[in-house]
Structure 1
Amino acid sequence: MTWLLGDRPRTITTKAGEKRTIVELRDPARLSQSLVIWLDGGADDLPDLRIGTPIAFHVEAVRSGRARGELVATVSREAVVAAFARAREAS
């Protein structure tokens, strides 16, 4: 699938003290729909890309999120890092 980078990946720290990365993508056909990816660890290994950059990768599973039009994807960290690297090379 190929969606657009909706926001820069960010690192949060959970209440349990674990670092997590949040990646938000937008459907290019319907920008109101988003796909959120939660990854273990920080966002340090993801290249800085311009918002709106197309990102293409394989999604293992998708489920409904909390917000309207939001989906939550299951994707390996390696797939996301590789997809960001490819998008950086293409831009």
Structure 2
Amino acid sequence: MSDKTSFSCGEYLDITQVSNLYGRLQKSLQKSVNIELKADKVNKADTAGLQMFVALKREISTTDGNLIWKNPSEGLINSAKLLGLAEELGLE
């Protein structure tokens, strides 16, 4: 297993993308328990998308891994704050 694997979040972290993103994230978890999320291009994030990352963060924490945000966009941060998930996701 590698030290960390990078994952591009794309432009949309919403319900239309959750299934696809979840499958890709599970493959990333097979490579490393430390996931670096490239989130600079995220334009839209909704409850479903952010809940998926809450679940992922909890799953990773059971294996002593980390969820690392790289350059989270203002849109992502604002959505997380609006939904009350910024602190839990480490986006504050």
Q: Give the TM-score normalised by structure 2.
A: 0.23
Q: Which has the larger radius of gyration?
A: 1
Question: Higher helix fraction: Structure 1 or Structure 2?
Answer: 2
Question: Higher strand fraction: Structure 1 or Structure 2?
Answer: 1
